[in-house]
Chains A and B, each alone.
Chain A
Amino acid sequence: MSTGIVSRGQNTALGAALIAVAVFGALVAAALWRGAAPGAWAVTGSLAGLAGFLALWTRAGSDQRTSFLGATVIGLPYAWLLALFLVPFAIVLKISLSDVALARPPYMPQYDPAQGWAGVVDLVRELDFENFVFLTTDDLYWKAYLSSFRIAAIATACTLLIGYPIAYGMARAPKEWQATLLMLVILPFWTSFLIRVYSLMGILGNEGVLNGALIRAGLVSEPIQILNTQMAVYIGIVYTYLPFMILPIYAALEKMDESLLEAAEDLGCSRLQAFWLVTFPLSRGGIIAGCFLVFIPTMGEFVIPSLLGGAGTLMIGKVLWEEFFNNLAWPQASAVAVVLLLILIIPIVLFQRSEEKAREAGK
């Protein structure tokens, strides 16, 4: 593949650089062509430079066997994620430091490319932490963060308590059932999240199936208010996120060697002790992965609190949505997002580490 003047390593780098620059070039060109694009494309453009730089840098330590193809395989998804995952965060950060303006887009300052470097200096000078200060002055925000954290933590614990026995039961079920049981867990996971949240509305409402059954059974005379309370939010989270908890724990338990338990019991452990000393530690990887998979998205959950929760349910995802769509306060909404991201960055990095480790171990 790598014939010609350039060596393999250089070829790799060149390919990656070309593709990265091409993708960003296309984006910037599209922006210029549309005419109405001050501000963000400058950020995009500068990150294009970074991508190109990174790609060229590949030359140094490359141990690729493939050349142009290898570069494309890395460069294309890399450029895509930079442009549509990382750059957007830079923009959110920038807007969170901007001021509200009565225009569209409703924030100041905007970057004027005609002014060149002086424009960048002016832009940076105009940015400030006002929106973050604002977040601390209004009770609503820190209460919403705190309440989201509490709801996410309690709901994760509940999901673990309910999910673990199910995963355990699956792993100990006869081999010929396991494929079917796994299927039964995966099926809700594939079914629409929104529809599953909605299906709970029909169960939990005052005229819902649950209250109807309770009244008919004579257990209560008045319907119990569940929908539009915090309780409904917990039920909703456990219900929708249960497969995310069961699957990694099942994967960990299924790999376990059962003779270990027999050994523990031969050595005088009771069943409970054997579970606590052998099974539980061996499933820790699955528990950790499951908890991250439930906790992190729940922190920013929007659908569940807005469909199942009531006026008393305060969650930051809902606050952000309302800031943005109802109040059109883009800088504030961006500041809310930045703080949420800062809270979640540690669990996200830990999650990524544990996934990488699991992948390495699986090799």
Chain B
Amino acid sequence: MKRFSWFNATALSFGFAFLYIPMIVLVVYSFNESRLVTVWAGFSTKWYAELFRDQAFLDAAWVTLRVAFFSSTIATVLGTMAAHAIVRAGRFPGRTLFSGMIYAPLVMPEVITGLSLLLLFIGLGIDRGVLTVVLAHTTFAMCYVSVVVSSRLATFDTALEEAARDLGATPFQAFRLVTLPIIAPAVISGWLLAFTLSLDDLVIASFTTGPGATTLPIKIFSAVRLGVSPQINALSTLLIVAVSVGVITASLVTKRNAVRRAREERAADQLA
């Protein structure tokens, strides 16, 4: 603690100022009356009203939410399975390939992933649309889920599972009744991560989408190519607020649960 010097304080203040000022400016100017970015012409919510009148944005938002929901849900199931396989299954043939396929999408440039999936869908003759975007998003999101869940599984005491098995639980019962409740926070944050990744993706969606399945990032990108637009500022503000509320709530809930668990463990120790 004594090492928390002025140097650290400066580094933190500048760092966080750099991370937050652009977003704060964006939020503030979404309430600007004027279309110009540097001129403050008074408070107004007219860009929000305009946004909600724009049917194209609403359609895109609906497509995006559907894609994000389905892809993150499938990705959570598959990613949890993959995490279990990596952490628990020991050695199996092709394990190196498997773990390679889990870690590679985390850093793979999106243009490559997007192009390759598009060529697959065309080769298979699958019409591009919501379905293909869901398949594409599930594929890269499951890798993120599996990394999040496997880090939790790795620190988890296998003796609990073994005890459940000794008491007659089937492997599935042991997983459902013992493992899953313990790794639940990681599974939930994996789902949230998959959801926001899908909500956010421009490049892979652009490659794999088809007519009638324009997602919000595609819409935003084509609007901002030409420059700053107050309507997009309003939309961005809404998304930033939604994500912030979600992340802060999730962390508060996790913290409360951790405190409660610690208290229960102490109580159990006293009883013993």
Contacts and interface: CB of A to CB of B under 8 A. Distances in A.
A172 B124 contact: no
B36 A203 contact: no
Contacts of A70: 89, 171
B22 A200 contact: yes
Nearest to B37: A202
B154 A77 contact: no
A74 B101 contact: no
B21 interface: yes
A270 interface: no
A209 interface: yes
Given A292-B107, A348-B108, A172 B8 contact: yes
A201 interface: yes
Contact of B22 (A196, A211, A351): A196
Nearest to A333: B115
A77 B111 contact: no
A265 to B, nearest CB: 11
A310 interface: no
Nearest to A60: B93
Interface in A311-363: 317, 320-321, 324-325, 330, 333-334, 337, 340-341, 344, 347-349, 351-352, 355-356, 359, 362-363
Interface in B134-152: 135-136, 138-139, 142, 146-147, 150-151
Interface of B is mostly: helix
Contact of A73 (B25, B84, B107): B84
B55 interface: no
A119 B100 CA distance: 32
Interface stretch (A132-140, A185-193, A280-288): A185-193
B227 to A, nearest CB: 7
Q: What range describes how many residues of B lie at the interface?
A: 35 or more
B81 A73 contact: yes
A334 B170 contact: no
A322 B134 CA distance: 24
B124 A37 contact: yes
Nearest to B85: A74
Contacts of A340: 109, 111-112
A263 interface: no
Interface string A74-106: 101110111011111101100100000000010
Contact of A181 (B12, B117, B119): B12
A179 B101 CA distance: 32
Interface string B63-107: 000000000000000110110110101111110011111111111
Contacts of B154: 359, 362-363
A62 B92 contact: yes
B251 interface: yes
Nearest to A307: B224
A208 B124 contact: no
A325 B170 CA distance: 52
Interface stretch (B46-54, B180-188, B240-248, B263-271): B240-248
B105 A77 contact: no
A4 interface: no
A109 to B, nearest CB: 13
A64 B91 CA distance: 9
B161 to A, nearest CB: 10
B220 A166 contact: no
Interface string A291-313: 01100110111110011000000
Contact of A341 (B112, B146, B147, B196): B112
A239 interface: yes
7 contacts: A73-B84, A88-B117, A92-B112, A181-B12, A297-B110, A337-B112, A363-B154
The 6 nearest A-B residue pairs measured at CB: A40-B123, A300-B109, A88-B116, A37-B125, A165-B11, A166-B15
